[in-house]
Amino acid sequence: MTEIITGLQMSPLEILALLGAAALVVARWLPSAARPRVTIAAGAVLVPSAIVLCVVGIRWQMLPVLAGAALALPFAVSPVIRRRTGRPAWRARWWLALPGSAACIGLIATGPSAAWAFPIPVFPEPSGHFAVGTRVMQWTDPNRPETATADPHDRRTVVVQLWYPAHKSPAGSQRAQYLGRTEQEAHTVSDALARYAGLPAFLVDGVPRAHTHAVFNAPVADKGGRFPIVLFSPGLGGVRTQNTAWAEELASNGYVVAALDHPYDSAAVVLADSRTINTKIVSTGNDDKDNKRAAETTAIRAADLSFTLTQLGRLDRGQIDNPLTGRLNTGRAAVTGHSLGGSAALQAARQDRRFDAIINLDGYPRDSNLRPYHQPALALTQTITPKTDPRYIPRLTKVLKLSTATSYRLTIPGAAHLTFTDAPLYLPPVPSMVGSLGRTESPHIVAATTLAFLDTTLRHKPGNLAAALSAYGNLSLYHPDNSH
């Protein structure tokens, strides 16, 4: 489909169809001399646009527009036909026509409203001086059995997507599909995410149509030396691509982001052999059982993160064939995650000293074996309300105080749990769902705060990190002596 016009969240073809439909309704209220010309012009715009949209794939948001046009069409065309055949034009009295016209306009107006509420996501332009490339790999850990299956020979497999600094691709290069390597994979993942969230899949059918700024398998940038690594674990049921806007921003600033799909936990994982593994995790309604399952899943994810760091080290040494060989700085690695992934990041860092920094995006710590750790941590949290789990902040504070380095908790006003993902780009701007920061500001704040933290902890750039973070919310500092 042609590029979406960001302000209207509609493509040029959709806008033409919308204008044609509206003109059909308006034609009835024009002077008799103007009605035939307007009706013919509206039809000439509407019909071809609708046909092309049906061919390339029409979005559900356009269906009420076409329904309103279909209702208005007989009443708009009939006077034109009667005039051309020499028969007297019949026109309903205004008080009879007004309700029908209002109903048609209401249907037509539903189209842009729905397109605005459920748009095709438009990703922010990365601000760094590198172009962005992306690659997908699949690795199996021979030392860990897959506990989600009964097959004793099954071994734990993860799918990892890298975003990395790249050469600028030629103009017109195909940008990477959002949610998958192919359009089919993107639709599979989108449908699975909708099912997991309890939404009808058609509501978000625009999401797999989106393209990002990265280019698949683009050549690695020849400048920048060895790039620090940022590993990422998504939320429960989430997928590796759920924070693409954030990953592209980091990559454009000289980081390599490695995001994981966790099979049997992520909503859907499409393997290299085209098999799809759907999540096996569902709520039981029993808090004790669900908390126990969450703790078990967190431990598995933590092991996935450590295994992925090991694989990246092998890749950098040339033991895995990859264009990024020799370009990864595995001595400067951060582990990050959203929600349950943030909990996994905290646990992975406490277990694996190779990680140098931690970013927890609104994740409740699940590790029951709390002990001191050496890495600095940044925890971003949503706005705390009376509905927030009262155990969350005390538990998070306890974990942050265990660090022997200075750690930070930043509560962002107007943020909700999904603010820290790509969700604000394509879900309705309902504050309880995606926060009240808006589609542009949400990804900007998440990227700016985490980038400031990574630049300080991994690259040791000078500057006042506390002041930089405080500009975006309410900051609490936890020094090694546990004062704040």
Task: Say what the pLDDT of residue 370 is.
Answer: 85
* CATH number (domain holding residue 243): 3.40.50.1820
140 and 91, same structural domain? no
- Residue 4 domain-assigned (yes or no): no
Task: Say what the pLDDT of residue 87 is.
Answer: 54
- Residue 3 domain-assigned (yes or no): no
More confident residue, 101 or 484: 101
Residues 304-332 have pLDDT tens digits of: 999 999 999 999 999 999 999 999 999 99
184 and 230, same structural domain? yes
171 and 113, same structural domain? no
Average the pLDDT over 227-232 and give the result: 98
- Residue 471 domain-assigned (yes or no): yes
Cβ-count burial 360-373 (b if 16+ within 10 Å, e if not): bbbbbbbbeeeeeb
281 and 308, same structural domain? yes
361 and 331, same structural domain? yes
107 and 142, same structural domain? no
80 pLDDT band, cuts 50/70/90, is low
Residue 287 has pLDDT above 90, yes or no: no
- Residue 165 domain-assigned (yes or no): yes
Residue 283 has pLDDT above 90, yes or no: no
Neighbouring residues of 223: CB distance < 8 A, sequence distance ≥ 6: none
376 pLDDT band, cuts 50/70/90, is very high
Among 117, 149, 181, identify where a domain stops. Answer: 117
Average the pLDDT over 457-484 and give the result: 90
How many CB atoms are located within 10 Å of the residue 329 CB? Answer: 16
Average the pLDDT over 48-63 and give the result: 92
383 and 408, same structural domain? yes
286 pLDDT band, cuts 50/70/90, is confident
- Residue 484 domain-assigned (yes or no): no
Among 61, 93, 117, identify where a domain stops. Answer: 117
More confident residue, 42 or 93: 42
Residues 424-442 have pLDDT tens digits of: 999 999 999 999 999 999 9
Residues 390-421 have pLDDT tens digits of: 999 999 999 999 999 999 999 999 999 999 99
User: Mean pLDDT lowest for which of 34-43, 183-192, 470-479?
Assistant: 34-43
248 and 157, same structural domain? yes
Task: Say what the pLDDT of residue 95 is.
Answer: 57
Among 117, 152, 181, identify where a domain stops. Answer: 117
Sheet with 407-411: strands ordered across:
215-216, 131-145, 155-166, 256-261, 227-233, 328-338, 357-361, 377-381, 407-411, 474-478
150 and 40, same structural domain? no
Which range is most confident: 7-11, 79-83, 93-97? 7-11
Two tokens at 278?
A: 């759907």
4 pLDDT band, cuts 50/70/90, is low
What percent of the chain is modeled with pLDDT above 70? 93
Task: Say what the pLDDT of residue 81 is.
Answer: 64
- Residue 182 domain-assigned (yes or no): yes
Total domains in the chain come to 2
Average the pLDDT over 65-91 and give the result: 72
Residue 78 has pLDDT above 80, yes or no: no
484 pLDDT band, cuts 50/70/90, is very low
**Model pTM?**
0.92
Average the pLDDT over 148-162 and give the result: 96
139 and 82, same structural domain? no
- Residue 246 domain-assigned (yes or no): yes
- Residue 483 domain-assigned (yes or no): no
Task: Say what the pLDDT of residue 422 is.
Answer: 98
Domain hosting 397: range is 131-478
Mean pLDDT of the chain: 92
264 and 172, same structural domain? yes
432 and 302, same structural domain? yes
